[in-house]
């Protein structure tokens, strides 16, 4: 039973345009969400996070939107750059004793075309 789903295994975007990566979750206990970026042969790198008390968090070119009623979050990258080409993982955690355990989606491979 996959609790965090990234339904698009891949996405191609032209340089300078917006990249939108989507993530859905099923566990209503999740209250903290993160996006990680992974290059080949490297570990995932933390990108941006959002708490369930917010619906938007912005950091430079990266914005994460959270729709709790739809159990959906998205990562927007504007403008997209070739260096953004990587696999992006959505992750979530629940409060309390389980807050250490991140549940990851399977990832979306983003290709930014120059």
Partner 1 sequence: GAGVSQSPSNKVTEKGKDVELRCDPISGHTALYWYRQSLGQGLEFLIYFQGNSAPDKSGLPSDRFSAERTGGSVSTLTIQRTQQEDSAVYLCASSRIQGNEQYFGPGTRLTVT
Binding site for partner 1 (CB under 8 A): 4, 6, 32, 34, 36, 41-46, 49, 89, 91, 93, 97, 99-107
User: Cβ of residue 106: shortest distance to partner 1, in angstroms?
Assistant: 4
User: Cβ of residue 32: shortest distance to partner 1, in angstroms?
Assistant: 8
User: Cβ of residue 46: shortest distance to partner 1, in angstroms?
Assistant: 5
CB-nearer residue toward partner 1: 20 or 94? 94
CB-nearer residue toward partner 1: 23 or 77? 23
What is the C-alpha separation between 14 and 42, in angstroms, rounded?
24
CB-nearer residue toward partner 1: 13 or 90? 90
DSSP string, 10-64: EEEEETTS-EEEEEEE--TT--EEEEEEE-TTS--EEEEEEETT-SEEEETTEEE
Q: How far is CA 68 from CA 31, 43, 52, 74, 93, in A?
A: 9, 29, 7, 12, 14
């Amino acid at each position: 039973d996959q609790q965090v789903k990234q339904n698009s295994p891949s996405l191609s975007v032209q340089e300078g345009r917006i990249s939108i990566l989507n993530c859905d979750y099923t566990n209503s206990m999740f209250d903290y969400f993160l996006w990680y970026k992974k290059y080949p042969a490297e570990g995932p790198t933390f990108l941006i996070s959002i708490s369930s008390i917010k619906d938007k968090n912005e950091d430079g070119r990266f914005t994460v939107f959270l729709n709790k009623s739809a159990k959906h979050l998205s990562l927007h990258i504007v403008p997209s750059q070739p260096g953004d080409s990587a696999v992006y993982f959505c992750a979530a955690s629940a409060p309390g004793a389980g807050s250490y355990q991140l549940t990851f989606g399977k990832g979306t491979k983003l290709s930014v075309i120059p």
